[in-house]
Amino acid sequence: MEIDFLSLIRKKREGLELTKKEIEFFIKKLINREIPDYQVSAFLMAIYFQGLSFEETANLTLAMMNSGKILKFKEKYVVDKHSTGGVGDKVSLILAPILAALGLKIPMIAGRALGHTGGTIDKLASIPNFKTKLTYQECQEAIKKVGFFIVEQSEEIVPADRYLYSLRDATATIESIPLITASIMSKKLAEGIKFLLLDIKTGNGAFLEKLAEAKKLAKTIIKIGKLLGKKISIFITDMNQPLGKAVGNSLEVIEAIEFLKGNQPMDLKKIIFTFAQEILLRTKLVENKKEAKKLVNEVIKKGKALRKFQELIKNQRGDERIIENYDLLPKARYQEDYLALKSGYLSFIDTKKLGFLNNFLGGGRTKMEDEIDYSVGFVFVKKLGEKVEKDKPILRIYANDKVKLKEVKKQMKEVILIKENKPKLPPLIYWYGRT
Ligand code: URA
């Protein structure tokens, strides 16, 4: 008997387990556009509340991976890094060119902004003319020619995640461990990589705010990795403040370029070097961390990593002149400092609220079809734990709308907390695991 999708929604709503065949039916119907959005949304909400067993999660991951073509590479060192999403998380924009400059191949399929977090693809889309989709053939050529590419899901590669990802963003169904697992792993398995480094964010700006939840996701992904024989390293890292200093699409592109030019905020530097070292060690390109650090420093100092980033932009038809001329990037009309209300220490940042304020300024979506304003966002002058002085800037706000700018300034009182005593800082890295 033909399965009908409404009965699957009911089944999941009641918390019953779906079979492999039913999950494959869902994905097939989804990519053929044979299920209306309202039914897919209801199904996602049922999964959000009822969860999925490990077997269902693995079956969903595989069905999503097989919804499009799977990339294949003959090269030896084909690797990738992915993050569960954060505020100001521009690590992929920096790490990928560093690794490519060291001879690794990185076929990166990334996402657009999700909820209050930024997306690598939206950041790159802020570069004039940058093409965020490549055909299967162009992906293969980019690996040979440049060593890496960064693209979004397409009709050809993981179309199921392309559709579910944007629907989850608009239906408040992001924070689900099985849905995050299937979304990330379907993309990463379709890349044809030999090794994956996964950065799971936790803290008040992450989807999984509690460390216990982040560990649950890590363990599910390790189990999937083992099941499919994939080499994976996972770091759970802190998201109780933006990573680095900039939040917002073109502002983060500038910060990434500056990093490759040698201007490296401490927290971002630690994360980049730790991840690069792990990847170089696990691919056996180096024998120890010291050697890895030396290589990474070298490609940055000699400008090789920056040139790789420029090559990526050129290969994906973007305006590569932005590397030297930031004025070619979208620029906000208004820039205003948010000043400390009193002297003391920067003790707390409501990072999720900050991400939503960036969306409010136009930097993110509330509906699938929303256009993004790439120029808006924030640049911090102070980081958590630093001394601040009354009436001195904590951050700068970038906006294109005066009314919204005023509202954000007002709301900022709830985002930033200053206390008399120096706060205890959270660690940058909480946990590490691997297959
Ligand atoms: N990144 C993804 O690719 N998918 C998610 O669901 C969350 C983060």
Cα–Cα distances (Å) from 305 to 102, 135, 272, 281, in that order, read 8, 25, 13, 19
pLDDT band of 2, cuts 50, 70, 90: confident
Give, using CA atoms, the residue closest to atom 6 of ligand 1.
180
Question: Which token pair is 106?
Answer: 């990185």
Rounded CA separation 122/170 (Å): 16
- Indicate the CATH number for domain 5-51: 1.20.970.10
Portion of the chain with pLDDT greater than 90, in percent:
98
- Residue 148 pLDDT exceeds 90: yes
Which atom of ligand 1 sits closest to the CA of residue 174?
Answer: 6
* Buried b / exposed e along 101-130 (16+ C-beta atoms within 10 A): bbebbbbbbbbbbbbbbbbbbbbbbbbeeb
**Set 12, 81, 82, 352: catalytic member:** 82
Which atom of ligand 1 sits closest to the CA of residue 111?
Answer: 3
pLDDT tens digits, residue range 264-306? 999 999 999 999 999 999 999 999 999 999 999 999 999 999 9
- Is 112 one of the annotated active-site residues of the chain? no
Looking at CATH, the fold of the domain delimited by 333-419 is given as Aldehyde Oxidoreductase; domain 3 (3.90.1170)
pLDDT tens digits, residue range 74-90? 998 999 999 999 999 99
Choosing among 3.90.550.10, 3.40.1030.10, 3.50.50.60, 3.40.50.970, the CATH entry for 79-326 is: 3.40.1030.10
pLDDT band of 1, cuts 50, 70, 90: low
- Is 183 one of the annotated active-site residues of the chain? yes
Helix axes 5-13, 20-31, angle to 10 degrees: 130
Task: For residue 63, report the distance from its CA to the centre of ligand 1, in Å.
Answer: 16
What is the reported pLDDT for 368? Answer: 84
Task: For residue 268, report the distance from its CA to the centre of ligand 1, in Å.
Answer: 21
- Is 82 one of the annotated active-site residues of the chain? yes
Of 33, 25, 31, the residue nearest 5 (C-alpha): 25
State the span(s) of the chain assigned CATH 3.40.1030.10. 79-326
Average model confidence (pLDDT) for the chain? 97
Residues in the chain: 435
Which atom of ligand 1 sits closest to the CA of residue 187?
Answer: 3
Place of tokens 């994956």: 196
State the span(s) of the chain assigned CATH 1.20.970.10. 5-51
Rounded CA separation 344/170 (Å): 39
428 SS3 class: coil
State the span(s) of the chain assigned CATH 3.90.1170.30. 333-419
What is the reported pLDDT for 3? Answer: 83
CB of residue 111 inside a 6 A radius of ligand 1: yes
CB of residue 110 inside a 6 A radius of ligand 1: no
pLDDT tens digits, residue range 364-391? 998 888 899 999 999 999 999 999 999 9
125 SS3 class: helix
Task: For residue 338, report the distance from its CA to the centre of ligand 1, in Å.
Answer: 31
pLDDT tens digits, residue range 14-55? 999 999 999 999 999 999 999 999 999 999 999 999 999 999
